[in-house]
Amino acid sequence: MCNRIYDALEGEIFFDDINLKSLDLTSLRDSIGYVSQEPVLIYGSIKENLIYGKSDATDKDIEEALNLANA
C-alpha cells in the first residue's frame, strides 16, 4: 500500500503519469482504499467475533461458519 507514510529514498512512484510526491497528501489518502487479506478478529472469543456480524446466530449457524472457514 502506498499512502505516503514514508517517501521513497530511491526511484519514483507515479499515478497516471503524475509523480506521487506532487500530489496533495490529504487528497491522496482520501482517495485510496485498503482491504487487508488478513482477517482481523476483535477482542474476545471466536464465538463473540462471529456473532458480532450476526447477533442472532445460533450455535448451529456458528458451527456452520466455522466449518465453511475450515476452522
* Cell matching residue 52: 458480532
* Cell matching residue 42: 476483535
Position 64 scores a pLDDT of 94
Q: Decide if pLDDT at 41 tops 70.
A: no
8 Å CB contact between 47 and 62: yes
> Of 28, 26, 34, which is closest to residue 15 (Cα–Cα)?
28
DSSP-assigned letter for residue 15: E
Q: How confident is the model at residue 3 (pLDDT cuts 50, 70, 90)?
A: low
Position 7 scores a pLDDT of 78
- Which whole number is the average pLDDT over 49-67? 91
Q: CA–CA separation, 9 vs 20, rounded Å?
A: 13
DSSP-assigned letter for residue 21: G
Q: Which amino acid is at 35?
A: V
- pLDDT tens digits along 16-39: 899 988 888 888 888 888 888 887
